[in-house]
Amino acid sequence: MKKHNFYAGPSILPQYTIKNTAEAVLNFAGTGLSLMEVSHRSKEFVAVMDEAQALVKELLDVPAGYHVLFLGGGASSQFFMLPYNLLQNKAAYLNTGTWAAKAIKEAKLVGEVVEVASSKDSNYNYIPKGYEVPADADYFHITTNNTIFGTQIKEDLDLGVRLVADMSSDIFSRPVDVSKYDVIYGGAQKNLAPSGVAFVIVREDALGKVERTLPSMVDYRTHIDKGSMFNTPPCVPVYAALQTLKWLKEKGGLAAMEKINIEKAAVLYDEIDRNKMFVPTVPNEADRSLMNVCFVMSDEYKELEKDFFTFATERGMVGIKGHRSVGGFRASTYNAMPKESIQALADAMKEFEAKL
């Protein structure tokens, strides 16, 4: 039976990425050696790192004056690296979920943090609006896609303050105006590569403004100066990321991706809205994530949650259980998710309702 992979992360990757990486694990760039046993300083691997950084710049149309890094430690290490490098006076944060809250917790260890707004009062089921960001904040940190709660900020905010964004789960899902951001970062395992690598896009002019002395590994400057090769990078995940970047380019780039992602998410949201057995967890349509579609059984059918899970599993759906802090279901619809799989889930929801 065909499996439809709705896991939230690590999550579905293009077959192109998986096949090419598997081949390179056996024989990397004609070296006759495995990608796993070749020096990161070899000319073959240096070419991989260079091309991956160049393709990130090309796909996101990154302006001059920015650096692209591939680092270990996941997005979670960026929660502290970022404030150590950028927070001198104070930083503003928007609390839109578990990951945002973790970023805030870490930044507070470094300096003054203002939480400008939070949707915690409503289990993070909306994106706060109408807040003010202190004009003297060094940066304003947002989480563009809230993987656990299924909300998303789909545009590049204009608030008169430099933006910093955790884009772990929606990077490369739409074009981004990078010029508005000082740093864009994320773990690769949602929309780019297997786990083990984080991407960081950092503006040169945002650096050098803090007084503290940083350990080498924490300092963005170290990694910029060494082209992400200060220490051994996660070679296999970086290779896989390069394959996904090539795949994205071949698919027509990020504008094409965004169009497909809007269509894909609509198939599920339309079915959730139509089907009397299900309700979306995010009431405001504009706040609903195109990457993580979260829904629960409507009150009347609450007791059928397990039954639907079994029903969907029997039809090949994998990873649709909602995060424990939300419950119900979560269908992650990242770039690599084919429309057929989304349709298969929507059809399963229809059939389940018809069975009644």
The site for ligand PLP (CB under 6 A) is made up of 9, 74-76, 99, 143, 147, 166, 168-169, 187, 190
Calpha distance 335→8 (Å, rounded): 12
**Catalytic residue, candidates 190, 246, 264, 321:** 190
Q: What are the beta bridge partners of residue 292?
A: 332
DSSP codes joined into one string, 169-225: TTTTSS---GGGEEEEEEETTTTTSSSS-EEEEEEGGGSS---S---GGG-HHHHHH
Q: Is the Cβ of residue 74 or residue 150 nearer to ligand PLP in the bound state?
A: 74
Calpha distance 219→34 (Å, rounded): 31
User: Residue 190 in contact with residue 334, Cβ under 8 Å?
Assistant: yes
Is 177 known to be catalytic? no
Residue 290 beta carbon to ligand PLP: minimum distance, rounded to whole angstroms: 14
Q: Is the Cβ of residue 181 or residue 308 nearer to ligand PLP in the bound state?
A: 181
Is 247 known to be catalytic? no
Residue 132 beta carbon to ligand PLP: minimum distance, rounded to whole angstroms: 24
> Strands, E, within 4-132: which ranges?
4-5, 66-71, 90-95, 112-118
**Catalytic residue, candidates 99, 138, 154, 287:** 99
Q: Is the Cβ of residue 106 or residue 271 nearer to ligand PLP in the bound state?
A: 106
User: Residue 237 in contact with residue 187, Cβ under 8 Å?
Assistant: no
Q: Is the Cβ of residue 81 or residue 178 nearer to ligand PLP in the bound state?
A: 81
Q: Taking the alpha carbons of 293, 296, 301, 303 in that order, is the dihedral positive or negative? A: positive
Residues with Cβ < 8 Å from 27, sequence gap 6 or more?
A: 33, 34
Q: Count of residues for the chain?
A: 356
Q: Is the Cβ of residue 8 or residue 257 nearer to ligand PLP in the bound state?
A: 8
CA angle 92, 94, 96 (to 5 degrees): 160
How many CB atoms neighbour CB 231 within 10 A? 13
144 three-state secondary structure: coil
Calpha distance 232→252 (Å, rounded): 32
Tell whether omega for the bond before 10 is within 30 degrees of 0, i.e. cis.
Answer: yes
Q: Is the Cβ of residue 110 or residue 167 nearer to ligand PLP in the bound state?
A: 167
How many CB atoms neighbour CB 310 within 10 A? 10
User: Residue 82 in contact with residue 183, Cβ under 8 Å?
Assistant: yes
Residue 99 beta carbon to ligand PLP: minimum distance, rounded to whole angstroms: 4
Q: Is the Cβ of residue 76 or residue 222 nearer to ligand PLP in the bound state?
A: 76
Residue 294 beta carbon to ligand PLP: minimum distance, rounded to whole angstroms: 13
Q: Which residues participate in catalysis according to the annotation?
A: 99, 166, 190
